[in-house]
Amino acid sequence: MSSPEVSYSFLTPQSFLERSAYVFRNKHAVVYRQQQWAYPEFAARVNQLASALRGWGLRKGDRVAFLCPNIPPLLEAHFGVPLAGGVLVAMNTRLSPDDIRYILNDCGARLLWRQHLHYRGGTDYLQTPCCARGGCHRHPGRKTG
C-alpha cells in the first residue's frame, strides 16, 4: 500500500503574518490603547520596519537591540527584524544602565532602537550611547564602554 503524498510548508513568523494578512483582512492584529491595526496594516508596518533596517545597512545575522516596553513597536520588531535578516535582542526596560551597556557590548548589536524612557525623578534613564559598536547617526564615533 502506498502512502498518499502530503503537501506541507514550514510555518515561520513571516509566513504566519503573510497568511494572516490574506485570510484575516478585517480582523484586528493589534489593539493598543486607542490604536487598532488589522492584519494587512500590521503586515505593512512590519515590512516598513524591515525595509528601513535594510536601508540602515543591516546585514544577514546582524543583531538589532530593542529597548522599549511591551508596546506595538516591539511586537513589530519580532517580525520585522527577522524579515530583514537580523537577530532581535529584546531588552527589559527595567535593566540598569550598566546591564544595558553589558548586553549591548556582549551581543554586538549593530543597531539599537529605544523608546525614550523617563524614570528616576524624570531624567533620561538610559545614559548609554544609542548605538553599539562605533556610534550612530546621532553620536558618530562614540563607543560604548
Q: What is the pLDDT of residue 72?
A: 92
Beta bridge pairs of residue 53: none
Q: What is the pLDDT of residue 119?
A: 44
Q: Where are the domains of the chain?
A: 13-124
Q: What is the pLDDT of residue 123?
A: 38
Q: What angle do CA 109, 113, 117 make, to 5 degrees?
A: 125
CATH (one of 3.40.50.980, 3.30.565.10, 2.30.30.100, 3.40.50.800) for 13-124: 3.40.50.980
Distances (CA, A) of 27 to 12, 20, 63, 70, 127: 20, 9, 32, 21, 40
Residue 89, helix vs strand vs coil: strand
Q: What is the pLDDT of residue 140?
A: 47
Burial of 10 (0-12, 13-18, 19+ CB in 10 A): exposed
Q: What is the pLDDT of residue 114?
A: 85
Tens of pLDDT, residue by residue, the chain (145 residues)? 666 777 777 888 889 999 999 999 999 999 999 999 999 999 999 999 999 999 999 999 999 999 988 899 999 999 999 999 999 999 998 888 899 999 999 999 999 998 765 444 433 434 433 444 444 444 444 444 3
**Cβ–Cβ under 8 Å, residues 97 and 124:** no
Q: What is the pLDDT of residue 6?
A: 74
Q: What is the pLDDT of residue 1?
A: 60
How many CA atoms within 13 Å lie on the side-chain side of 1? 2
